[in-house]
Amino acid sequence: MGRYADTYADWVRDPHEFWADAARDIDWVTPASDTHGADGWFTGATCNTCWNALDRHVAAGRGDQNALIYDSAMLGKVKHFTYAQLLDKVATFAGVLQRHGIVKGDRVIVYMPMVPQAVVAMLACARLGAIHSVVFGGFAAKELATRIDDARPKLIVTASCGLEPGRTIAYKPLLDAAIDLSKSKPSACIVMQRAALEADMIEGRDFDWSMEMEKARAAGLKPACVPVAATDPLYVLYTSGTTGVPKGVVRDNGGHMVALKWSMQHVYGINPGEVFWAASDVGWVVGHSYIVYAPLLHGCTTVLFEGKPVGTPDAGTFWRVIADHGVKALFTAPTAFRAIKKEDPKAELVKDYDLSKFEMLFLAGERGDPDTIQWAERALGVPVIDHWWQTESGWPMASNPMGLEPLPVKYGSPGVPVPGFDIQVVDEAAKPVAAGVTGAIVVKLPLPPGCLPTLWENEAGFHASYLADYPGYYKTADAGFIDEDGYLYVMSRTDDIINVAGHRLSTGGMEEVLAGHPDVAECAVIGVADALKGQVPLGFLVINKGVNRPMADIEKEAVALVRDKIGPVAAFKIALVVQRLPKTRSGKILRGTMRKIADGEAWTTPATIDDPAILTEIGEVLTGAGLGKKG
Ligand code: COA
Ligand code: AMP
């Protein structure tokens, strides 16, 4: 057997011993009394995540090594932070939080662009045992308000603005609007002022980041790490569920550290001291796990990149960052590579850079399409690894385990189950299906360390969303199959989630927004194929009888409404007025058939359809809009 099979077999033989062994790589204040008890992983243990990410490395002599390299293609600026420097900033900001009354268990929302202060704020929360909840900057005020009401933060940390190509996004007015909308009000906001656009401050509520840091420094406030239970929450990260209400995925401290540290070595094949770059955003799970926590827990140098794969300034930016900082492995979403490929199809710009230290490219967030993977292999001459995971898992569930042993790549598959995950494909009765047969992808319980123990203050929702449908298993809501060699293939979602440029969005959430337009009687949102973003949302609107306005105006308003209520990240740009929506006789909207028509795939009229003529009408509207073909 190879090293992967051996390791997987070790885990199967004794999962407790396997994880107890991995836990030896973490510093504990008090060791666990039980590896996996009723309340989760490493019961009885106390620990601190910030200690393991920073203090322990400084204590072990890594203080002068770069912990974080901030590379802003937006500002044309690079800044290095050694472990000692990052620790100093984090401990000082923990002092700021403490002065504002933050203690263990309090929630702090971080609504920031890709600046080092976001990482400092996250780690400072961890230092105090406070629970951070980072909200992605591309979400609008209403989405932020929903999260504020659910997490009820005592304090919010933000920046005056974010920088997108060609425009500066004022964050502070969005935050002010969100606080106005929410029932729960934070007692203070700490605002990092950026030169591109300074924010107006509200007297008594808003505090300037730099001034607060100076005050904490002057007061000599640098709180030590507060021990927390391994099972205490480190953070809550909201992700799209099947409705407009996001789910607060909880991450614990102990299991999370053990899983992430283990993954750096065994999945990603990275050694302490090496440079790892996840080109994502701290607002997503990839950013939490592989920009912030995993590389630092492992003693690596992490790169925080503010920019885009193209246009900042060109499609060679990624290669420049890799060359300048000696990156060993890059992790991003396939959509970033599709964007680069579109701009520089022959990968000419690669030749301008020294990529000699670069060894691996990891892709996740959406299915790695074989074309993109093969293009990247040719362009870069390194292994390109598709791997599969979710906000809920926090780390890869299936991968090519590069650190254990590189397995042969099968295009279209994100690889094999990672030790810790017993992945099965089942039918509706929760019975495993044969190799090659498509079904629901589930993971046998218990989930390994690092995976969500619950949803924030919503244990019932956790059970209903993930555990109820397939007793004894965790439901991933992905569908696919496992082939005869044990490789997984993830083909689609089983719910209304779509994947837009690697971002997870609920079409149900968009429908809720569209239904709020006064002229809209009924609507349906589907995800249609897009060469760059993988999928983009498309909305169909049925207009109330008697509305006598140009339909094009209503379509424009619908697009603006989704941007305003959910945010630009939804990339909702197409709304089409139709006479009727196709439905089954029981009234279920036939979204799947509409998607096939829009994507130009072969489709058949469902036997249960109420009125087949409606599908023809839909096809005509799509053709009129330059989309779709009739199957
Ligand atoms: N704050 C405010 N607005 C933001 C934002 C932020 N942090 N991030 C994105 N937006 C806006 C963008 O400006 C864009 O607005 P527009 O409609 O006015 O153009 C919209 O949200 C959609 O953004 P994005 O998905 O980034 O699309 P894009 O067209 O700007 O760029 C890619 C396309 C492929 C280059 C881009 O999606 C990308 O780099 N993806 C990398 C993959 C990734 O980060 N995946 C995350 C999980 S690994
Ligand atoms: P998120 O929680 O935002 O990370 O989104 C998770 C979802 O993205 C998964 O449930 C899948 O639907 C999809 N996804 C992530 N990675 C992959 C992959 N490598 N292949 C196919 N789908 C993926």
Kindly report, residue by residue over 403-447, the tens digit of the pLDDT: 999 999 999 999 999 999 999 999 999 999 999 999 999 999 999
Domain that residue 205 falls in: 3-307+387-467
Shared domain check, 460 and 522: no
Query: Which has the closest alpha carbon to 411: 360, 377, 437?
Result: 377
Q: Are 83 and 139 in a shared domain?
A: yes
Q: What is the pLDDT of residues 314-373, one digit of tens each?
A: 999 999 999 999 999 999 999 999 999 999 999 999 999 999 999 999 999 999 999 999
Are both 81 and 135 inside the same structural domain? yes
Nearest Cα to Cα of residue 566 among 481, 495, 503: 503
Cα first-last separation, the chain: 48
Q: Which atom of ligand 2 is nearest to the CA of 477?
A: 10
Q: Is 364 in the pocket of ligand 2 (CB under 6 A)?
A: yes
Element (H, E) at 597: helix 591-599
Does 631 fall in a domain? Answer: no
Percent of the chain exceeding pLDDT 90 equals: 95
User: Ligand 1: which residue has its CA nearest to atom 16?
Assistant: 568
What is the pLDDT at residue 240?
86
Q: What's the CATH code of the domain at 212? A: 3.40.50.12780
- CA–centroid distance, 477 to ligand 2, in Å, is 10
What's the whole-number mean pLDDT along residues 483-488?
98
What letter does residue 216 receive in the DSSP assignment?
A: H
3-state secondary structure of 434: coil
User: Closest residue (by CA) to atom 1 of ligand 2?
Assistant: 390
Atom of ligand 2 nearest to the CA of 284: 3
The CATH number for 560's domain is: 3.30.300.30
Has residue 234 been placed in a domain? yes
Residue 630, pLDDT score: 45
Considering every ligand atom shown, identify the ligand nearest to the alpha carbon of residue 170 and give its number: 1
Q: How remote is the CA of residue 476 from the centroid of ligand 2, in Å?
A: 10
Q: Whose CA is nearest to atom 9 of ligand 2?
A: 390
Q: Which of 410, 413, 504, 507 to mutate to test the pocket of ligand 2 (most atoms within 8 A of CB)?
A: 504
H or E element, residue 169: strand 167-170
Task: Determine, yes or no, domain membership for 317.
Answer: no
Question: Is pLDDT at 551 greater than 80 in this prediction?
Answer: yes
Measuring from each residue's beta carbon to the nearest atom of ligand 1, which residues come in under 6 Å?
A: 113, 137-138, 162, 164, 169, 280-281, 284, 286, 308-310, 332-333, 335-336, 339, 365, 501-503, 532, 568-569, 571
Q: pTM score, two decimals?
A: 0.95
Q: Which amino acid type is present at position 596?
A: K
The whole-chain average pLDDT of the chain stands at 96
- The residue count of the chain comes to 631
Residue 463 domain flag: yes
To test ligand 1's pocket by mutation, which of 335, 340, 574 has the most ligand atoms within 8 angstroms of CB? Answer: 335
How many A from CA of 571 to the centre of ligand 1?
Answer: 8
Q: Which 3 state secondary structure label does DSSP give 218?
A: helix
- Domain identity same for 433 and 510: no
49 lies in a domain? yes
154 lies in the same domain as 289: yes
Which of 416, 449, 467 is the last residue before a domain boundary? 467
Of the residues 420, 445, 467, which one is the last residue of a structural domain? 467
**Residue 390 to residue 409: CA distance in whole angstroms:** 21
Domain boundary residue, one of 426, 446, 467: 467
- CB-ligand 2 contact for 439 (6 Å cutoff): no
The domain total for the chain is: 2
Does residue 362 fall inside a structural domain? no
398 vs 323, 416, 421, CA distance in Å?
A: 29, 5, 8
Q: At what angle do helices 591-599 and 613-624 cross, to 10 degrees?
A: 40
What tokens appear for 328 in the block? 């060993």
Residues 456 and 505 in one domain: no
Residue 448 covered by a domain: yes
Q: What was the pLDDT predicted at 245? A: 79
* Strands across the sheet containing 66-72: 77-82, 66-72, 301-306, 275-278, 327-332, 360-363, 384-386
CA of 533 to the centre of ligand 1 (A): 10
pLDDT at residue 631 tops 80: no
Range 250-253, long-range pairs (CB < 8 A, 24+ positions): 250/452, 250/453, 250/454, 250/455, 250/456, 251/288, 251/394, 251/450, 251/452, 252/40, 252/41, 252/453, 253/47, 253/48, 253/49, 253/126, 253/228, 253/229
How many C-beta atoms lie closer than 10 Å to residue 495's C-beta? 17
- Residue 460 and residue 511 in one domain: no
Residues 601 and 462 in one domain: no
For the record, the structure tokens of 628 come out as: 């779709």
Rounded Cα distance between 139 and 448, Å, is 31
Encoded amino acid at 426, one letter: V
Atom 24 in ligand 1: residue holding the nearest Cα = 569
State how far the Cα of 144 lies from the Cα of 137, in Å rounded to an integer. 9
For a pLDDT cut of 70, what percent of the chain falls above it? Answer: 99
- The alpha carbon of 340 and the centre of ligand 2 are apart by a number of angstroms equal to 21
Same domain, 434 and 513: no
Question: Tell me: the pLDDT tens digits for 96-116?
Answer: 999 999 999 999 999 999 999
Which ligand is closest to the CA of 392, given by its number? Answer: 2
Same domain flag for 561 and 454 = no
Interval between CA 524 and ligand 1 midpoint (Å): 24
Radius of gyration of the chain (CA): 24
Residues 6+ apart with CB under 8 A from 278: 286, 287, 289, 290, 291, 295, 302, 303, 330, 331, 332
- pLDDT tens-digit map of 554-591: 999 999 999 999 999 999 999 999 999 999 888 889 99
629: confidence class by pLDDT, cuts 50, 70, 90? low
Average pLDDT over residues 16-33: 98
Ligand 1 centroid vs 282 CA: distance in angstroms?
A: 13
Looking at the fold, whether 394 and 262 belong to one and the same domain comes out as yes
Assess if residue 360 is contained within a domain: no
Count of alpha carbons within 13 Å of 289, Cβ hemisphere only? 30
95 and 195 belong to one structural domain: yes
CB contact burial 455-480 (16+ within 10 A = b; e otherwise): bbebeebbeebbeebbeebbbbbbbb
| pLDDT tens string 278-320 | 999 999 999 999 999 999 999 999 999 999 999 999 999 999 9
Predicted local confidence at residue 305, as pLDDT: 98
Q: Is the pLDDT of residue 142 over 70?
A: yes
Ligand closest to 241 (CA) is 2
Mean per-residue pLDDT, 483-490 = 98
The finding on whether 386 has its CB within 6 A of some atom of ligand 2 is: yes
Q: Calculate mean pLDDT across residues 84-91.
A: 98
